[in-house]
Amino acid sequence: MIEAIGLTKHYGSTVAVDDLSFTVQHGTVTGFLGPNGAGKSTTMRMILGLDNPTAGKALIGGKSYVHLGKPLTKVGALLDANWIHPNRSARSHLRFMATSNKIPVKRVDEVLDIVGLSSVAKKSAGKFSLGMKQRLGLAGALLGDPQVLLFDEPVNGLDPEGIFWIRNFMRNLAAQGRTVLVSSHLLSEMARTADHLIVIGRGKLIAEASTADFIARSTRNSVRVRSPQLAELRTALGAAGVAFTEVPGAIEVTGAPIEQIGDVAGAAGVTLHELAAQAGSLEEAFIQLTGDSVEYGTSRTAGTGGYGQQPLGVQPAPGFTGPPSAGAQPNSPPPISPPPMGPPPMGPPLTGPPPAGASTAPVAQDGWDRR
């Protein structure tokens, strides 16, 4: 389990994370969402002890990262696929990590096989494509067979087959009872992958809910109906007190279940050519809810999918003043058959100076440079 308790991070006068608290439970894939500049990566770095919080704390299994013995056996993280020594082979890179945490060397070849890099194990990692580096990062995260995993944009650079594999990979990890926190801007993938969502904006918590609830509460339900007898259908729906709006060649019904609409049409002897629920998407819900938290974005106007619309029952987290809004009920993600073995992520750079504001702790047992 991961706990963030009042996490706050200032860089000079800039507030990157502002009194952020949440819990990531085991056995689920938790999506960590927010616009660019929301503070997602900074939060992950504080969880992993790479940045010192200005206030608050982050706990992994009840302990801060710096107090974990053999941390790679407790936590795996992939924050940046380029955090590798370019002149080391994939196998040498992982052997170094394994040695730092007294992990059996045979595990190196096991994780290379899991992520599909066995055939290039002796190749210099600096010559890898971004997708191959992502897989190497996953291998590093899996190395210690940890129970807690963090991924920051893990599908960057992957082809469709790789994205499909990653999705199954993370869900399989959660099915094994592990704690999985993943940040991504590919919201269509998040809708299929994440069971639970933590959404932040400008460093503050906006919402924390199941994926289905987040979409349902941030969008409107509607049903599209097509019929060669639209006039008769309008009359029947009006008599039944069912609200609807006209759309080209069809009727859109809101506030009534699809079963009721079918019953009304059947009782009136109206032929239907289409009776389909219109599901809102995670993307629509996310844009509506985080509209006022976009730090670098284009202007939007109400009535065009913009940010000025009224919320539909979403209750933002305390301290958030941004808007919610409209859409429809989501479809549940399709069943997914588990992939290979559990997943992995990988951590920060092994050499080189840390970014401004980083922790000044010495090099840790996992080989990550915290100077």
How far, in Å, CA of 155 to CA of 178, rounded? Answer: 20
Check if the beta carbon of residue 292 is closer than 8 Å to that of residue 285.
Answer: no
Residue 361 CB neighbour total at 10 angstroms: 16
Check if the beta carbon of residue 327 is closer than 8 Å to that of residue 344.
Answer: no
DSSP classification of residue 172:
H
Among 2, 1, 34, 37, which residue's Cα sits nearest to residue 16? 37
How far, in Å, CA of 229 to CA of 247, rounded? Answer: 15
Check if the beta carbon of residue 8 is closer than 8 Å to that of residue 56.
Answer: yes
Distance, C-alpha 278 to centroid of its chain: 24
Tokens representing 125 are: 């990692």
Any residues with CB less than 8 A from the CB of 228 and at least 6 apart, and which? 271, 273
pLDDT at 293: 58
Residue 308, classed as helix, strand or coil, is: coil
> Could you tell me which CATH number the domain at 222-278 has?
3.30.70.790
The domain spans of the chain are: 1-219+280-371, 222-278
Check if the beta carbon of residue 368 is closer than 8 Å to that of residue 350.
Answer: yes
Domain 1-219+280-371 in this protein, CATH class: alpha beta
> From the first residue on, what is the mean pLDDT of each consecutive set of 10 residues in the chain (371 residues)?
96 94 95 92 95 96 93 94 90 94 95 94 92 92 95 87 90 94 90 93 92 80 91 93 90 89 94 88 81 56 40 44 41 42 43 47 48 43
pLDDT at 72: 95
How far, in Å, CA of 60 to CA of 1, rounded? Answer: 6
pLDDT at 8: 96
